[in-house]
Structure 1
């Protein structure tokens, strides 16, 4: 019994000593912390900010396809994206619109076959005369509209002006003057004139006018809105011209520079009437169905010759070009 009492007294004494020591340490810790804060405030000591490293925790919505899923049924990607919270932007089929000129020729002029006036006593001649009267009535209405915006417009003087625009535009094409060509040609006619001519040399010359140019057709269409008016005038031109086209190696492909040809053309000149700074420009040509076919392009081929040694000339060899053997074709 005495031993047990002694043990209890030892435990109680040690517990009390531990409590006193703990209280003493807590008081010392508080006093040291307060003294350190006071010294830092007096000395203005600043600790560096902690460095935070960004860790990627965002979920990856796109998962690359696994191997061997080529033959499986394809899922709807748009539905998967919507389920993942991604919104696709709506795709619009947009087409560029140019309001400086129209996209084509409105009510194109139909030239009479052979450009000859038939007898009014025949059935074809009577039909042709009726069509001309109908077209002339519509042309007179269009001329009145054009004169409201262009007071200097006159069918007598406009034909000569249209011929000058035609000549200047083709001269700019032969010289590859793009700025001047854009000034004389509409945005619809420009790609038609310059398509395929990048590596070619064009030689064109206006020799003379066989017949005075004549205004044969006039229209005043509108586009997009009702008041957005355009003037289209068709001019008949019968002239003599020369045309020669060479490829990039200087070989003649079409025409001749010395032999002029008689050309009958129906040229369409257009202007944006609402625009006060608009000007008359070449818009296109009307090719009738009865017009003769164009001359075929002369194609040149390279025939392989003998291998020449250094210092050896081809003319000295008297090389004969081999002719292909005759082949019998059976039906």
Structure 2
């Protein structure tokens, strides 16, 4: 019984395989080929070119392009400029010699006053042009406002408030005020005004294009201030916090008149040629002591400090 059943199943299996083979031949069915999976090879690190090869390759590429008749684009050296302020003080005010010392009743004081009246004609024309762009400009109120800008700018400098200082001084004055103050401590205070500030000079000029007007106003300020600068070790370099000094300054305030959002900012100072020299800065230096052997003690009383050798400085 088992043998006939087995023969029947084998015959059915062979018949089914023949039918499937015939069907594939008639339909032209092909089995898909074997799949090839990519295998990750060894990681190749970037090897930088040798020193000097970059310049050689650039020159070789340029020579090859010229030989092929390809004209390269000309490179223009461009320098960024800032049009929010001018690069300096145009037609600066010349302070009279002996200002704040000579009386107006003396002979020299009367000569200085007459010279100021002669030079005020050009300033009046400039003031009229400033009022065309700034209707709120008045010489009496502007002098007090300039003094407030001066005080606020120096307070921001002592507090290292860069954002406020940028809004009070121009881009030309900012590096002059902050240069060399990275590791220093500044103590500055405005005590009082010895004379009311006044406008002594005004000028207007065009820059880059006609109609791009800038206004500069010079304000005379005679005040009493204190200034003390300490180095990074906390030692006094210049000035004193307890001893006030009388300071006569000529402040230059500038504004971009065409810009409706422009404001008056501190642009610089005019230092007259007859001004007294500034006090020297006391610098902290390290003095090398004697070489001690093991077990020896340093006796400061018997040690003589060597004097530094004279050095000739050339400008």
Range of TM-score over shorter length: 0.7 to 0.9
Deviation at residue 226 of structure 1 after TM alignment: 1.3
Greater C-alpha radius of gyration: 1
User: Which residues in structure 2 correspond to 1:243-258 (within 5 Å)?
Assistant: 243-258=227-242
C-alpha deviation, 1:224, in angstroms: 1.3
Measured in 1, the distance between the counterparts of 2:67 and 2:208 equals 41
Aligned to 2:6: none
CA distance in 1, matches of 2:183, 2:118: 46
State the Cα deviation string for residues 169-193 of structure 1 (Å, max 9, x = none): 0000000000110111111100110
Q: 1:31-77 deviations in whole A, cap 9, x for unaligned? A: xxxx979514xx6857879x9xxxxxxxxxx99989xxxxxxxx998
**Hey, what's the Cα distance between the residues in 2 that align with 1:269 and 1:236?**
11
- 1:286 counterpart (270, 280, 295): 270
Counterpart-to-counterpart distance in 1, 2:129 and 2:150: 24
How big is the shift at 1:79? 4.4
1:322 to 300, 304, 307: 304
Task: Report what 1:39 is aligned to.
Answer: 28
Structure 2 distance, partners of 1:178, 1:147, is 31
Choose from 122, 143, 151 the match for 2:127. Answer: 143
The residue aligned with 2:41 is none
Q: In structure 2, what is the Cα distance between the partners aligned to 1:103 and 1:144?
A: 23
Give RMSD over aligned pairs.
3.8
Structure 1 residue 131: deviation in Å? 5.0
TM-score (norm 1): 0.69
Aligned partner of residue 91 in structure 2, secondary structure: coil
- Equivalence for 2:184: 200
Provide structure 2 residue ranges, at least 5 long, that are not aligned to the other structure: 1-23, 39-48, 54-58, 310-315
Decide whether aligned partners of structure 1 residues 65 and 165 sit closer, same or farther in structure 2, where only a CA change above 3 A counts.
closer
Structure 1 counterpart SS, 2:287: coil
Give deviations 1:214-271, integer Å, cap 9, x for gaps: 1000111121121111111100011111111111111111111111111110000111
Provide the residue aligned with 1:11 in structure 2: none
Map of 2:95 onto structure 1: 111
Shift of 1:304: 3.2
Match of residue 69 from structure 1: none
Tell me the number of residue pairs that the alignment of Structure 1 and Structure 2 aligns. 267
Equivalent positions of 1:159-308 (< 5 A) are 159-305=143-289
Stretch moving more, 89-98 or 145-154: 89-98
SS at structure 2 position matched to 1:151: coil
Residues 3-82 of structure 1 correspond to what in structure 2 (within 5 A)? 39-40=28-29, 45=32, 79=63, 81-82=65-66
Structure 2 counterpart SS, 1:172: helix
Once the two structures are TM-superposed, the CA of residue 300 in structure 1 deviates from its matched residue by: 2.4
Q: 2:78 aligns with which of 91, 94, 97?
A: 94
Query: Distance between the aligned counterparts of 1:158 and 1:326, measured in 2?
Result: 52
Preserved CA contact (<8 Å) 1:229 1:273: yes
Q: Aligned partners of 2:308, 2:82: CA distance in 1, in Å? A: 57
In the alignment, the residues of structure 2 paired with residue 227 and residue 253 of structure 1 have an alpha-carbon distance, to the nearest angstrom, of 47
1:105 to 1:44, Cα distance in 2 relative to 1, 3 A: farther
Question: For 1:60-103, what per-residue CA distance to the aligned partner results, in whole angstroms no more than 9, with x for missing partners?
Answer: xx99989xxxxxxxx99854552267765423222211111111
Structure-2 separation of matches of 1:303 and 1:113: 44
CA contact (8 A) 1:174 1:204 kept: yes
- What SS does structure 2 have at the residue aligned with 1:240? strand
CA distance in 2, matches of 1:273, 1:118: 35
Of 220-229 and 317-326, deviating more is 317-326
